[in-house]
Amino acid sequence: MKTLYLDCFSGISGDMTVGALLDAGADFAALRDGLMSLGVPGFRVEAEKVVKRGIAATQFHVIVDPDAPKPHRHLHHIEDIITNAPLPEAARAGALKTFRLLAEAEAAVHGIPVAKVHFHEVGAIDSIVDIIGANLALHLLGIERVFASPVHVGGGTIHCDHGVMPVPAPATAMLLRGCPMIGDDLDAELATPTGAALAVSWTENFGPMPAMTATAVGHGAGGRDLPDRANVLRVIIGETADEAVAPTGPAESVTVIEAVVDDMSGELLAPALDALLAAGARDAFLTSVLEKKGRPAYLVTVLCDAEQLSGMTRTLFEHTTTLGVRYREERRTTLERAWRSVPTAYGAVRVKIGFLDGVSTVFHPEYEDCRARAAEHAVPVRRVAEAAQAAAIEGRWCDA
């Protein structure tokens, strides 16, 4: 399998990632044409060969026109740009996933809903081009799996719009939860939020390089010169056998919380599930079980991030009659996912798409959309869902 290894000995950023993939063989003309098709005005891209402390590398530049419009784009604006662009499906799904991770990290840091996160002015254009460009370059190279080294994040502090911040920046630290990080005495930010989001969205496992036969090596240059090392991201591309790249565990950790309730009906427990989901749980559901002496009961199961454990536990105690909960950490892997809309005779319906090896294999019409369209046309919800499913399977997208 064609495998990419990210060697983050000097950190990782969005432009370093694109530069490294270009240096390893991604076609610049194809990358530039893809980026120019986004419909985002006011920028151009360039790539040049540079030398960083004796290492030849490619430096990727996003040059923004100072007179170009610079709107404050929220996540849904950027998702629209990505969804409507004529990108390969794998690159589109990867870019959507990366931006979602970045927005979720920023939302968690600032304590605001994801929908209210906005990407500032020039930084928005840089982020759009770097993230889409990196995912497009990954596709152009035909990469099937990605692994990464522990991430060197730097040290000291940085100045930003919110004042002085520690390194790693709060969003970077949030993104790299569960991943090995290495700090440095160097007073510099080596890993940026964009670079961290790319690494986390791609990487199956952080650790030593898997056994592989290298076919290409690339170096992507950062903008600064560092006093003690080459400011580059190294990528190594090679062929691996399936057993050589089998990950030590699935792609992410999830906290599982459980409680058994035997004195509430399912009807009364339904609002508890709503409360857990509203509080940010990844999922919450009920399972019918039998307790000792054959007593019927419900097992309440919650999936959430580790830092949500306290809040989710409190929500369970507030909304159910349970006297105690248990919890554990588990590992899971998921399909790449993206949202698109399909036309039906009843109106547009959003569909969640699951991708396996870059190929769409699962389609789930959004229930609330189906219910709304069904109410508007006085038809069963099932009929709308079936129409949306058929349209998705046939590839009839509203934004095609």
> Cα(9)–Cα(234) distance, rounded to whole angstroms?
8
Residue 358: is its pLDDT beyond 80? no
Out of 210, 228, 245, pick the residue that ends a domain. 245
pLDDT (mean) for 340-353: 94
Out of 212, 245, 278, pick the residue that ends a domain. 245
Residue 249: is its pLDDT beyond 60? no
pLDDT (mean) for 343-364: 90
Q: Is residue 400 part of a domain?
A: no
Q: Is residue 323 part of a domain?
A: yes
pLDDT tens digits for range 384-399: 999 999 999 998 998 6
Residue 254: is its pLDDT beyond 70? yes
93/136 same-domain check: yes
Q: Is residue 398 part of a domain?
A: no
> Residue 248: which pLDDT band, with cuts at 50, 70 and 90?
very low
Domain span at residue 381 reads 336-393
More reliable by pLDDT, 253 or 262: 262
307/182 same-domain check: no
pLDDT (mean) for 68-84: 86
Q: Is residue 374 part of a domain?
A: yes
Q: Is residue 399 part of a domain?
A: no
Q: Percentage of residues in the chain with pLDDT exceeding 70?
A: 95
168/42 same-domain check: yes
191/241 same-domain check: yes
275/384 same-domain check: no
pLDDT (mean) for 114-121: 75
Residue 359: is its pLDDT beyond 90? no
pLDDT (mean) for 201-219: 93
Query: 157-166 long-range contacts, Cβ below 8 Å, gap at least 24?
Result: 157/187, 158/189, 161/120
Q: Say which residues have a Cβ less than 8 Å from residue 294's Cβ, sequence separation at least 6.
A: none
pLDDT tens digits for range 119-164: 764 458 888 999 999 999 999 999 999 999 999 999 998 777 667 8
294/205 same-domain check: no
Q: Residue 335's pLDDT is what?
A: 82
Residue labelled with tokens 């004796």: 54
268/324 same-domain check: yes
361/266 same-domain check: no
As for how many domains the chain has, the answer is: 3
127/153 same-domain check: yes
pTM of the model as a whole: 0.62
> Cα(332)–Cα(252) distance, rounded to whole angstroms?
6
13/93 same-domain check: yes
More reliable by pLDDT, 288 or 163: 288
Can you give the CATH number for the domain in which 356 is found? 3.10.20.300
Q: Is residue 347 part of a domain?
A: yes
Out of 245, 278, 313, pick the residue that ends a domain. 245
pLDDT (mean) for 316-327: 94
For residues 174 and 109, the answer to whether their CB atoms sit within 8 Å is yes
Q: Which two tokens stand for residue 194?
A: 């964009």
Residue 167: is its pLDDT beyond 70? yes
349/379 same-domain check: yes
136/259 same-domain check: no
